Structure formats: C-alpha cells, structure tokens
Structure 1
Amino acid sequence: MSYTTKETSRNPYYKARIHAAEKDTAYESRLSAGAVVGISSTRLYQIERGLQEPHRDELIVMADAYDAPELLEHYCECVCPVGERCRQIREKK
C-alpha cells in the first residue's frame, strides 16, 4: 500500500494520474507512469507532492497521457504568470 499525504491527495497532477489508472494500469505507480510520460519517478513525485511545478512540455505530455485537459487549465490559472495576470485583470473589472 502506498503512502499518500493529504496534500498529495488534493494535488491535481496526482488526482489526474490516479483517475487515468482506473482505465490503464500503467499509471498505477509513479515508476510506470513516469516511464509512459517520459520523466523520472522522482520528478513525478516532486510534482505530485507540490514540491515542483511541471515544466510546460511535461505538463502537455501529462495532460495528453492522462486524458486530463483540466491540468492545462489548472496550470494556466494557478501557475502561469500570464494566466495569473489575466485573472487579476478580470477581477478588477
């Protein structure tokens, strides 16, 4: 049984991988998911724990592999400085 923290269980990248694992067992572990996505299991761990944000190219591959376009929206809304600035402008109106 794997150990999951409360923070990890709320992480959108973790949730997307677990949802993808319901359809494809290749996403059940970070090791096998990392191999499919093309990043190390350590890097995937850092992303899923919120220690690091994915690079844009990693994000695109993860969103496609997991069939999770919501990851792109999350990144644009919460991580991308351009998306953050656009949100601030919308809130001022």
Structure 2
Amino acid sequence: MKKEVLIGVLIGLIANVFGLFLAATLLGQGDDFMNVIKAASNEGFLGKLISLGAILNLIAFFIFIKKRQDYRARGVLLITVFIAVFTFVFKLF
C-alpha cells in the first residue's frame, strides 16, 4: 500500500515538472527554460506557472482512477495538494 502511494507521488512530481517545463516552453516565447523561470520569479507569476504545471496531474489521477489503482491516485492527489499549499505559501512571501 505505501509503495503504491509512493509511486503515485513520484508520478505526480514527474507530471508536474514536465507540465512546468511544457508551460514555460509554450508561454516563454522561445526563451530558455531557466530564463523563463527567472523572469517569472522576478515578475511575480512563478506560482501561476507552477500551478499550470500541475494540470498534468489531473490526467495521471484520472488514469489511475480508471484503472482502479486507488492508492496511486491517492499519491497523485497528495502531491497536488502539496503543490497547491506550496504555491499559496509562496505567494504570501
């Protein structure tokens, strides 16, 4: 059971990182990934970019639900909630 939740957490992290990279590439207008991240941080919308990256977690979550892999879906949901809290705290400071 713990192994399945951990797999879900890892897949959620990978999906979020890939989604962040995809969002930065698409919205960065051809700039380098690190330049987009630095500009987003300087301009105050890095939290929004991270939240856009978390959209891919929805796909992973629903795939696990459809396959009846509830513990993996729980891991993806757990990391999605963690990212939401992190983004909220990041915006406060």
TM-score, length-scaled by structure 1: 0.30
Structure number with higher helix proportion: 2
TM-score, length-scaled by structure 2: 0.30
Q: Pick 1 or 2: higher relative contact order, CA cutoff 8 A, min separation 6.
A: 2
